[in-house]
Amino acid sequence: MEDVYCFGGNPLDRASERRDDGDWIAKLLDDPQTRLLALRDLKPFTRGTTTPTLDWQPVAPWRARIGAGAPLVFLGLGDGRAHFAIDAVGADVAPELDTGLIDVRALAPTLAHGEAAILAEARSLLDWHARHRFCAQCGAPSTVASAGWKRHCPACRASHFPRTDPVVIMLATRGERALLGRNRRRPGARFSCLAGFVEPGETPEEAVRREVREEAGVRCGRVRYLAAQPWPFPSSLMMGFLTEALTEEITVDAEELAEARWFSRTEIREMVARAATGPDDPAQVSLPSPIAIAHHICRRWSSGLDSV
Ligand SMILES: [Zn+2]
C-alpha cells in the first residue's frame, strides 16, 4: 500500500456519477443526518481550542445562505451520510465562532488524516468558486452547477470545471548526497526539495529535469515517481520524485532560490529528525515539517527506503 501524506487519503465516496441528479442532492440536503462544513475566508469553522476539530453542522441553520446562492459543494458520502461545504462569506455568524477561524496550514497537523483531506477538497473547491465567478469564454456571470463541481455560463452555455495544478517536487541525488534549495521568500535556514509547476505540453519527468536545471543548473537523468499529495493552496497536486543528478556544479537561479547546496545522507537524516520533532531552530539548517511531502521525500531517501 502506498503512503498517504497530509491532505491525502480522503475517506469520502465522492459519488461523482450522481452530482447532476438535482433531486437526489435536494433529498440529501433535507436529511437531518447530513453534515455541512462552513468556511469563511477559506478557513473552516472549528470546535475546541487545544486540539480543534472541524465543526460539522446540520444543514438547517444554513438554509437561508443556500437559498441566497452561496457556493455549496457536495463533498461526498461517508459514515452513512452526506457531507457538504459552504462558503460562509457574508453569513451572519455568531462572534464566538467567527474568532475561532484557523488557517488551514496551521490546523491540518492537528486534524485526523481523513478530516484534513476533506478540508483540502472543500478549501480548493470554494476557493475556485470565489475566483471564477465570470465565464472565461464570454465574461458573463456564471452559476454553480453539478452540486458545486461545475460552473455554467447562461450566456454562452459553456461549462467550466475546477482545475488541479500539477506540481513536481523532487530530490536530485548523486550517490550519498542530495540537492536542496533555500527559497528567497522564506527567512532563516529552511531548505527543501526543488519544485515547480508542470508546464503545458510537458510530462512530469520532463518537468523534473527542467526545474532542477533551471533552478540549480544541475542536469538530471533517471526520474522515479514516489507519491503525491493534494496541496489546497489553492489547488495543486504535489507529485514527489527522486531524480539522478548527472552533474554536480550548482548555478542558482537568483529569481527563485537564495541558495542551493549538496547535503550528505546523514545531514538530511538529521534535518528530518529535527523537523519531525518541533519548530525550526534558526541557528540550524532545517526542512519542512511532516505536513509537506518534501519532508517525506527527504525522510524516505535519507533512511534508505527509496532510491532512484
Ligand atoms: Zn460564457
Is 104 found in the same domain as 185? Answer: no
Residue 94: pLDDT band (50, 70, 90) is low
Domain total of the chain: 2
Establish if 145 belongs to a structural domain.
Answer: no
Establish if 190 belongs to a structural domain.
Answer: yes
Q: Is pLDDT above 70 for 176?
A: yes
Q: Which residues surround ligand 1, an ion (CB under 5 A)?
A: 135, 137-138, 140, 153, 155-156, 158
B/e letters for 36-64, b = 16+ CB within 10 Å, e = fewer, are bbbbbebbbbbeeeeebebbbbebeebee
Give the domain range for residue 109. Answer: 16-131
Q: Is pLDDT above 70 for 97?
A: no
Query: pLDDT tens digits, residue range 231-280?
Result: 999 999 999 999 999 999 999 999 989 999 999 999 999 999 999 887 77
Give 137 Cα–ligand 1 centroid separation in angstroms. 5
237 touches 125 (CB < 8 A): no
Q: What gap in Å lies between CA 298 and CA 289, rounded to an integer?
A: 11
Is 290 found in the same domain as 170? Answer: yes
Is 171 found in the same domain as 127? Answer: no
The predicted structure's pLDDT at residue 1: 43
The predicted structure's pLDDT at residue 188: 80
Across the range 146-166, mean pLDDT stands at 97
Q: What gap in Å lies between CA 262 and CA 245, rounded to an integer?
A: 11
Give 43 Cα–ligand 1 centroid separation in angstroms. 30
Establish if 148 belongs to a structural domain.
Answer: no
Nearest to 228 by CA among 257, 255, 198: 198
DSSP 8-state symbol, 61: G
SS3 285: coil
Establish if 103 belongs to a structural domain.
Answer: yes
Domain boundary among 131, 157, 181: 131
Q: Starting at the edge strand that comes first in sequence, how are the strands of the sheet with 72-78 ordered?
A: 43-44, 35-40, 81-87, 72-78
Instruction: List all residues 6 or more positions away from 136 whose beta carbon is below 8 Å from its beta carbon.
Output: 158, 160
Q: Which three cell numbers stand for residue 60?
A: 438547517
Q: Is pLDDT above 60 for 143?
A: yes
Give 197 Cα–ligand 1 centroid separation in angstroms. 28
Give 149 Cα–ligand 1 centroid separation in angstroms. 17
Residue 221: pLDDT band (50, 70, 90) is very high
Query: pLDDT tens digits, residue range 178-208?
Result: 999 999 887 788 999 999 999 999 999 999 9
Residue 69: pLDDT band (50, 70, 90) is confident
Query: pLDDT tens digits, residue range 7-18?
Result: 999 999 999 999
Q: What gap in Å lies between CA 59 and CA 81, rounded to an integer?
A: 12
Give 152 Cα–ligand 1 centroid separation in angstroms. 8
Give 211 Cα–ligand 1 centroid separation in angstroms. 36
